[in-house]
Structure 1
Amino acid sequence: MRAAERERFILDEAIKFFAEQGFGGQTRELAKRMGITHSAIYRHFPSKEALIERVYEEIYLSRWSPTWAGLIQDRSLTLETRLSRFYLEYVQQVFEYNWVRIFVFSGMKSFDITKRYLEIVREQIIEPACRELRHDLKLASSDKVPLSEREVELFWGLHGRIFYMAIRRFVYETPTPDKLDDIVVDAVRSFLGGATRLLPEILEAR
């Protein structure tokens, strides 16, 4: 096996291993499972942390579309259309065994994969969506009135509602619908129905 092929093999197996065992799983056990020496892993990845970093790049960064941030801010479309399109594409990328389980395991350990990824979600999706809803409702811009945690939490609630189906499927292993498109669209529509009424009250209360 060539060096590049062996490195790819180790990475692919590490993704499956950490999804099953969590980050508490030892690289020695990973090597045994692959049928290679422990030192062979470290010829390609200088540390367990370096291997985990590659897992993060492969599983999370490579699946994040650079078009999503622009989609959320595309005012030629209704906000409902933008959010629906984003989440329909998003579930296609993240509703996958390895993605979900590594994400959850990371949140329970000292590795900061979950924190770093959620910062991307907040910066590129959550906060822009808050600003777009203000624009739709002709409310004060965030330049004049900074976003509050209360309104940001509204959008985290939508995000969490959709992602929770992945938790149910791949962590709790309980039944979830096979087809998610209608459920995603319903979630966006019901969210906007409530948020449209609530947001003016939130800003007025401030």
Structure 2
Amino acid sequence: MKKPSKARRKATAKEPQRLDPAEREAIIAKEAVAFFAEFGFEGQTRELARRLKITQPLLYRYFPSKEALIERVYREVFVERWRPSWETIITDRSIPLETRLIRFYREYAEVILTYEWIRLFMFAGLKDLDFNERYLKMLRERAFERLIQEIRFAYGHPSPQDLPITVLEIEMVWGLHAAIFYLGVRKFIYSMPLETDINSIIDAKVTTFLGGIRFVLPADTDHRPNADG
């Protein structure tokens, strides 16, 4: 049997690898996350295809528009990386409140204080995409409102079902959350490395937060403290 020519073998070696469609889509999505984190959402799909070593038409077979690709990036980074277990941590009253908050924010920081997460969130805001609005709505519903409910219980105040959450309470939680988020901004936007262990910073911020939040909780003289701190 005649062997293929050297030229034929060389051409065959250069043919793009055939992948399962689901695998190809996942590879494109992963590279898109890295690409947009580096260049922002102004980055061109032509350049992304070049980095993937595929044609732009092939990329559009999996994602029919740049908007569809960006939406996949949102889901990949901001939705799918959310851990439902965090909600359980926040509401587990068998554990002291301060311990719960520290554990939640330590785990949360592992996910968001990354090059990709921080830069994509910032670029989305600059591009005026609705990523930030959607994500922050999810954050408020899944974390902030639960945090406030647990804080009220710990300090003997009525639940949000009996007394609606106030704007000031939400602002206080925003302050804690933003302070932790800013650690990532310093590192991945300003290129200013942290000078101490990040967990130590988180612990200190949570402790300081709990020391002050009680002074802005809605007053209620009919409830006695259940505080564990």
Contiguous gaps of at least 5 residues in structure 2? 1-17, 222-229
Which whole-Å deviations, capped at 9, do the CAs of 1:146-171 have from their partners, x for residues lacking one?
11111111011000111100010011
Q: Is 2:147 the partner of 1:129?
A: yes
Matched, 1:43 2:43: no
Residue 139 of structure 1 deviates from its aligned partner by: 1.5
Q: Distance in 1 between matches of 2:23 and 2:80?
A: 19
| Pick aligned residue for 2:162 from 144, 148, 166 | 144
The equivalent of 2:38 in structure 1 is: 20
Match of 2:176 in 1: 158
CA RMSD of aligned residues (A): 1.7
The alpha carbon displacement at 1:19 in A equals 0.3
The equivalent of 1:109 in structure 2 is: 127
Give deviations 1:44-100, integer Å, cap 9, x for gaps: 111111111211222222211111112111111111111100001111111111111
TM value normalised by structure 1 = 0.91
The 3-state SS of whatever aligns with 1:60 is helix
Match runs of 1:164-179 below 5 Å: 164-177=182-195, 179=197
**Correspondence for 1:196:** 214
- The more displaced of 88-97 and 134-143 is 134-143
2:10 match: none
Q: Is the 8 A contact 1:103 1:114 kept in 2?
A: yes
Please name the residue that 2:73 is paired with: 55
Distance (whole Å) between structure 2 residues aligned to residue 55 and residue 66 of structure 1 = 20
Runs of 4 or more consecutive aligned structure 1 residues displaced over 4 Å after TM superposition:
none
CA 1:62–1:34: 2 relative to 1, 3 Å: same
Cross-structure match for 1:79: 97
Residue-pair matches, total? 203
Whichever residue aligns with residue 213 of structure 2, its letter is A
Kept after mapping to 2: 8 A contact 1:60/1:117? yes
The CA deviation string for residues 17-39 of structure 1, in whole angstroms up to 9 with x for no partner, is: 10011111121222233332211
Preserved CA contact (<8 Å) 1:151 1:199: yes
Asked whether the 8 Å contact 1:74–1:82 carries over to 2, the reply is yes
Larger radius of gyration: 2
Instruction: Note the residue ranges of structure 1 that are not aligned, 5 or more in a row.
Output: none
**Identity across matched positions, percent:** 47
> How far apart, in 2, do the equivalents of 1:165 and 1:77 lie?
27
Give the 3-state SS of the residue equivalent to 2:192 in structure 1: coil
Q: Alpha-carbon deviation of 1:140?
A: 2.3
Counterpart contact for 1:80–1:189, Cα < 8 Å: yes
The alignment partner of 1:155 has SS state of helix
Deviation at 1:178, TM superposition (A): 5.6
Q: In structure 2, the residue corresponding to 1:144 is in which secondary structure?
A: coil
More helix by share: 1
Bigger mean CA offset, 112-121 vs 25-34: 25-34
- Structure 1: distance between partners of 2:107 and 2:51: 34
Match of 2:70, SS? Answer: helix
Report the residue type matching 2:67 in the other structure: E
Which whole-Å CA distance do the structure 1 matches of 2:30 and 2:161 have between them? 45
TM-score, normalised by the number of residues in structure 2: 0.83
Q: CA deviation at 1:200?
A: 4.6
